[in-house]
Amino acid sequence: MRPFKLLDPRSLDEACQMLDRYGEDVKLMSGGTAILILLRQRVFSKPYFINLKAVPGLDGIRDEPGTGLRIGALATLRAVETSPIVRQRAPLITETFRLVANVRVRNSGTLGGNLSHGDYRLDPPAPLLVLGAKAVAVSSRGRNTYELKEFFRGLFETALQPDEILTEVVVPDAPPKAGTAYFKYTSLSETDWPCLGVAALVTPSDGGGTCGELRVAVTSVAERPMLLEHLGPLARGKRLTERLLEELGDAAAERVDPIADARGSEWYKKEMVRVFVRRAVREAARRAGLAAG
């Protein structure tokens, strides 16, 4: 690893000024779990890193009535996973975060680092996408809010500009009576990166018995996590029969363009999308009090 200098800003303003001053020579560091591996492998190097952990007040987790959960970008994945407020307001996030990597990684890795990295093999984007989360970024130019569905642009590419710092993620409350589920499938070992992750949210229609709203997001398959918005209209107002679940799985598999890697070929990942979308929707429907099948 090439030597570098770690800068310790004492405020967000100072961190933004450092980004402006050092430009191409600097990169942000939060938990360092992703970046230190790349540095050790000499994938890249920078003479300066800004240690965001030095900035106070970026790791809070709170519930703001009328807005939803506000999770600071510097909150560790473990802090989010074990937060009683998160468990109460968005159990889908708790369910997902406890499946990320292992406790050691979750203790250091942060939510902001996870999303900003733009890796395609991440779990957290899936539940956050179905919950309609937004990412808030700050720079010396001001504040920007990104819909998470617009945030992931491609492989290791997000909407964040080079001078922006992700400061928090805002998660609106799920619709009333919603059932949610996250299915992570690992094809190598249990604590491995996902081969596939699927999050689903289902609400019962007003009269009950049929599906009101359906939201599904997949991650680790294509070059970026995706909200599959075409699935909702296919299910609205219908009973979630096994036949419809199959149709939803097929429609999801048709839309994704998988990346082949050590965890599966393109064909295999498409088949897994088919299977796991079906399972996630069935489970979310069950939790919403809808008998699927």
Ligand X SMILES: Cc1cc2nc3c(=O)[nH]c(=O)nc-3n(C[C@H](O)[C@H](O)[C@H](O)COP(=O)(O)OP(=O)(O)OC[C@H]3O[C@@H](n4cnc5c(N)ncnc54)[C@H](O)[C@@H]3O)c2cc1C
Backbone angles phi, psi at 57, to 5 degrees: 85, 10
| Identity of the residue, 39 or 231, whose beta carbon is nearer to ligand X in the bound complex | 39
**For ligand X, which is the closer residue by CB, 100 or 288?**
100
- Give the binding range for ligand X (CB under 6 A) out of 14-22, 107-115, 147-155, 198-206: 107-115
**CA distance between the termini of the chain:** 55
The answer to whether 185 contacts ligand X (rule: CB under 6 A) is no
CA dist 146 → 4, 40, 75, 77, 164 (Å): 31, 32, 19, 21, 12
Residue 114 as a binder of ligand X (CB under 6 A): the answer is yes
Residue of 15, 29, 171, 196 that binds ligand X (CB under 6 A): 29
- Judged by CB under 6 A, the stretch of 109-117, 143-151, 200-208, 228-236 that binds ligand X is 109-117
At closest approach, how far in Å is the CB of 237 from ligand X? 34
Task: Please report whether residue 92 would count as binding ligand X according to CB under 6 A.
Answer: no
Show contacts of 249-257: CB within 8 Å, 24+ apart.
Answer: 249/273, 249/274, 249/275, 249/277, 249/278, 250/274, 252/216, 252/218, 252/228, 252/277, 253/277, 255/226, 255/228, 255/230, 256/218, 256/221, 256/222, 256/226, 256/228, 257/222, 257/223
**114 or 203: whose CB is closer to ligand X?**
114
Residues 48-67 close enough to bind ligand X by CB under 6 A: 52
Residue located via tokens 């964040």: 160
Which of 7, 69, 73, 235 touches ligand X (CB under 6 A)?
Answer: 73
Instruction: Closer to ligand X by CB, 74 or 214: give it.
Output: 74
CA distance 64 to 89: 11
Q: Which is nearer to ligand X, 13 or 246 (CB)?
A: 13
Task: Give the residue carrying structure tokens 């088919």.
Answer: 274
Take residue 144 and report the two structure tokens written for it. Answer: 């920007």
| Binding status of residue 249 toward ligand X by CB under 6 A | no
Among 39, 61, 79, 122, binds ligand X (CB under 6 A): 122
Q: Quick check: 27 binds ligand X (CB under 6 A)?
A: yes
Please pick, from the candidates 26, 35, 222, 227, the single residue that binds ligand X as defined by CB under 6 A: 35
Nearest residue to 162 (alpha-carbon basis) of 22, 8, 13: 22
Task: Rank residues 31 and 212 by Cβ distance to ligand X and give the closer one.
Answer: 31
State which residue, 86 or 122, has the beta carbon closest to ligand X.
Answer: 122
d(Cα 81, Cα 100) in Å, to the nearest integer? 10
Position among 7, 19, 26, 33 found at the interface with ligand X (CB under 6 A): 33
Q: Which pair of structure tokens corresponds to residue 66?
A: 């009328």
Residue 127 within binding range of ligand X, rule CB under 6 A:
no
Binding stretches for ligand X (CB under 6 A)? 27-35, 37, 52, 73, 77, 100-101, 105, 108-110, 112-114, 116-117, 122-124, 160, 165-166, 193-194
